[in-house]
DNA sequence: GAGCGATCTTAACCTATGGCAATAACATGG
DNA sequence: CCATGTTATTGCCATAGGTTAAGATCGCTC
């Protein structure tokens, strides 16, 4: 992992500043937030459906996801979370979690007690708005995935997913010369796209064959952005990266 | 339509009290909220994707929905909204709408200027939490629909949808001896469930034949709640009706 | 009460995607 | 270097659900 040189709150500030603006005092208040930092291996559950957490999780490094199982054991992944995201921020207002949160890759995480979050928001109403806005964008992403799950075919769904991830990762500064970290297996992709692993494989290969993307070794490179956005009918408006 | 005897804010208070508790002052502040009431016919767009509304909509009577079209003209409905709901509350923090809102049936609506909402929330931080919580429950419902769209077959999806609507409408007092208003065409149902109208018809008839529901004339009656929840793998936890 | 539009229903046929199973390609640890 | 586990790939066949189109119903309106 990278050296712990960066304060854990930096990624959070960067994330918030990708969707809103912060005053120096607000940045300072966030930096002063008490956090417990911890390294977690890949594929670990952080909180489970039905839990009543007393703290929020902040992703500092690595990928996390939110998911739920069908009674028959089929999994749907609702969201992937990247550095700066708080996958269970909603636990602040929804006492018992209606889905699970887990790591996808090895992660460095920070845990923030609810009481500290509440204190921060009480003192800084504009931060309340910022975090609220963040959860609303979360919801906008859900809707966009719903549109895909309900009305787009497999290829379109995959293409738009790749578009979204590139756009989001770019917004928090994780793009390096056209390449973005995306440490997902095809099985995880399948659970997110509502497809079988076999069909994900077919579709990913199709996108590769069409020279739209390269996706290997946990990294995604867009070869043909115009082509990919066209294939995915992608319009980033729903990400509300207004800045 | 029913006589305008009830103040428009009453449904909003009832809705909020189904998910949180309010003090007398808070109820009063909501009642004092300036609203413009208006009747709207069925199938009218209220706001469209890309709009930048300066007001929020409150459903007083009737059904509204939120939706978006694919480039190829296929529609996905994200949510149905019932009396007490504010389908575009999110416009308070997301300047430009990423989806449209329209009426499903004829509706009585109230419009509240953003500035008045902001003023209310500034004065009553606990109401901020309540409305935030409401948008989070909104998100929880999206996730549940995603699980259905991605991982449940058509019959299960339909059954769980009917379970959800009954539960929600019951929570705001719209159930009358086992029957609930549900003025949706099968085409609208199809757009919500991510199916074709033909297949919705097949599945609805199946649920009727199994004597689980009656669904006609804009009303839904559950004949066999145990059977329906089983068919839909329905667990109302995600609705967070904790009260 | 004839005509019209919306909705629902049924049928016949078609296709995108799923399920299963075998194989390949790597990593990892001993 | 071998054994093992995970992930990716390929092929074959099965099926849920889509598509198209033709009625059937049921208000409405003129």
The crossing angle, in degrees rounded to 10, of helices B24-31 and B125-151 is 80
Q: Which of residues 28-57 of A touch B (CB under 8 A)?
A: 50
The reported pLDDT for the residue numbered A146 is 98
Across the interface, do B240 and A94 touch by the CB < 8 Å criterion?
yes
Which residue, among A105, A232, A99, A95, has the nearest Cα to A163 in the 3D structure?
A232
Across the interface, do B136 and A70 touch by the CB < 8 Å criterion?
no
* Protein-proximal positions, strand D, CB < 7 A: 6-12, 16-21
* DSSP helix/strand/coil, B77: strand
How would you classify residue A224: left for phi > 0, otherwise alpha for psi between -120 and 50, otherwise beta? beta
B160 touches B230 (CB < 8 A): no
A180 touches A165 (CB < 8 A): yes
Q: What is the mean pLDDT of residues B145-160?
A: 98
* DSSP helix/strand/coil, B173: coil
The reported pLDDT for the residue numbered B101 is 98
Q: pLDDT of B190-240, one tens digit each?
A: 999 999 999 999 999 999 999 999 999 999 999 999 999 999 999 999 999
Contacts of A152 in chain B (CB under 8 A): 70
Q: Which of A70, A149, A242 sits opposite B149 (nearest CB)?
A: A149
* DSSP helix/strand/coil, B62: coil
The reported pLDDT for the residue numbered A7 is 78
Write out residues in chain A with pLDDT < 50, as ranges. Answer: 1-5
pLDDT band of residue B6 (cuts 50, 70, 90) is: low
DSSP A76: E
- Residue B186 Cβ under 7 A from any strand C atom: yes
Q: pLDDT of A131-182, one tens digit each?
A: 999 999 999 999 999 999 999 999 999 999 999 999 999 999 999 988 999 9
pLDDT at B120 over 80: yes
Q: Which of residues 92-151 of A touch B (CB under 8 A)?
A: 93-96, 98-99, 122, 125, 128-129, 132-133, 135-140, 142-147, 149-151
Q: pLDDT of B200-213, one tens digit each?
A: 999 999 999 999 99
Q: pTM of the predicted model, to two decimals?
A: 0.95
Q: Does A197 touch chain B (CB under 8 A)?
A: no
Which residue, among B176, B136, B42, B46, has the nearest Cα to A93 in the 3D structure?
B136
Let me know how long chain A is.
Answer: 243
Across the interface, do B152 and A75 touch by the CB < 8 Å criterion?
no
The reported pLDDT for the residue numbered A6 is 65
The reported pLDDT for the residue numbered A137 is 98
pLDDT at B4 over 60: no
Q: pLDDT of B92-103, one tens digit each?
A: 999 999 999 999
The reported pLDDT for the residue numbered A2 is 42
């Amino acid at each position: 992992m990278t050296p712990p040189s960066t304060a854990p709150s930096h990624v959070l500030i960067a994330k918030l500043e990708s969707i809103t603006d912060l005053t120096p005092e607000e940045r300072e208040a966030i930096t002063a937030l008490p956090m417990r930092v911890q390294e977690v291996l890949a594929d670990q559950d952080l909180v489970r459906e039905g839990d009543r957490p007393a703290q929020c999780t902040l992703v500092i490094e690595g990928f996390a996801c939110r998911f739920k199982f069908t009674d028959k054991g089929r999994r749907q992944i609702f969201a992937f979370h990247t550095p700066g995201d708080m996958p269970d921020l909603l636990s602040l207002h929804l006492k018992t979690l209606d889905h699970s949160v887990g790591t996808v890759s090895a992660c460095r995480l920070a845990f923030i007690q609810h009481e500290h979050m509440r204190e921060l928001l009480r003192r800084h109403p504009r931060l309340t708005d910022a975090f609220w806005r963040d959860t609303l964008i979360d919801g906008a992403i859900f809707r966009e995935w719903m549109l895909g799950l309900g009305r787009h075919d497999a290829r379109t769904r995959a293409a738009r997913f790749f578009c979204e991830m590139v756009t989001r990762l770019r917004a928090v500064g994780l793009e390096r010369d056209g390449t973005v970290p995306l440490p997902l297996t095809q099985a995880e992709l399948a659970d997110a796209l509502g497809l079988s692993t076999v069909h994900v494989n077919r579709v990913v290969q199709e996108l590769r064959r069409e020279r739209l993307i390269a996706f290997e070794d946990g990294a995604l490179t867009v070869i043909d952005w115009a082509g990919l956005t066209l294939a995915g009918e992608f319009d980033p408006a729903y990400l509300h990266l207004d800045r």
